[in-house]
Amino acid sequence: MSDTVVRSATEGVITTITLDSPENRNALSSRLLEQLTLALEAANADTSTRVVVITGAGNTFCAGADLKDPPGNTPGQQFSFPDILKAIVLGPKPVIARINGHVRAGGMGLTAACDIAIAPDDSTFAFSEVRIGVIPAIINVVCQPVMTPRAFRRYVITGEVFDGAEAERNGLVTRCVPREELDSTVAAMAEELRKAAPSGIARSKQLIDSLPRLPIDEQWTHTAGISAVQFQEPDAVEGIGAFREKRTPSWAL
């Protein structure tokens, strides 16, 4: 097995990060998690990158934890699984999961953490942890908020396999498309994201995560403050100016 298990390539404004360990179905080893974390950090620091795409090599997106070389599970520990999920959720760049194949266990968490997930109709999904006597604990944090409650409860406690169409119905993925339309759908979604202001995306991601944890009475003050700050951002000045002048804002050119 190669020492490189995660590849990163930038084309235009899109950085594609590929889990490249098909021998073990792109399982989350400590080595893969380290390389994934570093690749995501580099993409977030690259000012030319506007959209990040995470995908996998082979016929599996991610099979979950590598039981022979498991990643760290303690938040704050270097290259821990909770921290990479948090980095995807709260990172400034929009992240698309290009689901290339089957998804199991921890791979469900990677899918749910991404802002948008596109899956082919021949992909399958499962919270397979209960079938070996463990539970999907860490990924619960990102999977439960995006999935419908009844479906989440059913699939977590049964571990049964469901298809891409069901993953779309229950909220785990954004869209399920025919296999031959996967790349064009991902490209179209990336183009839609390119039209949005970078700082608007970054602040919106933070708000989506933080707002539900506040009492309703605090939400009004919190959002009013964020709105006031965003109106002073260069992106907002440029966007409002472009709207008034009937031109395309600079970030979308």
- Dist. CA 239–CA 253, nearest whole Å: 12
pTM metric for this prediction: 0.94
The whole-number average pLDDT for the span 138-163 is: 97
pLDDT band (50, 70, 90) for residue 132: very high
Q: What is the pLDDT of residue 146?
A: 97
Token reading at 156: 């977590």
Domains of the chain, CATH where assigned = 6-194 (3.90.226.10), 198-252 (1.10.12.10)
Q: What is the pLDDT of residue 22?
A: 94
Name every residue whose Cβ is closer than 8 Å to that of residue 4 and which is 6 or more positions away in sequence. Answer: 20, 35
Q: What is the pLDDT of residue 154?
A: 98
- Dist. CA 107–CA 99, nearest whole Å: 10
**What's the N-to-C CA distance of the chain in angstroms?**
42
- Dist. CA 95–CA 220, nearest whole Å: 28
pLDDT tens column, 179-235: 999 999 999 999 999 999 999 999 999 999 999 989 999 999 999 999 999 999 999
pLDDT tens column, 67-125: 888 877 777 777 899 999 999 999 999 999 999 999 999 999 999 999 999 999 999 99
DSSP, collapsed to helix, strand or coil, labels residue 204 as helix
pLDDT band (50, 70, 90) for residue 2: low
pLDDT tens column, 32-78: 999 999 999 999 999 999 999 999 999 999 999 998 888 777 777 77
- 8, 147, 228, 238, 239 from 244: Cα distances, Å: 39, 39, 20, 10, 9
Q: What is the pLDDT of residue 1?
A: 52
pLDDT tens column, 154-195: 999 999 999 999 999 999 999 999 999 999 999 999 999 999
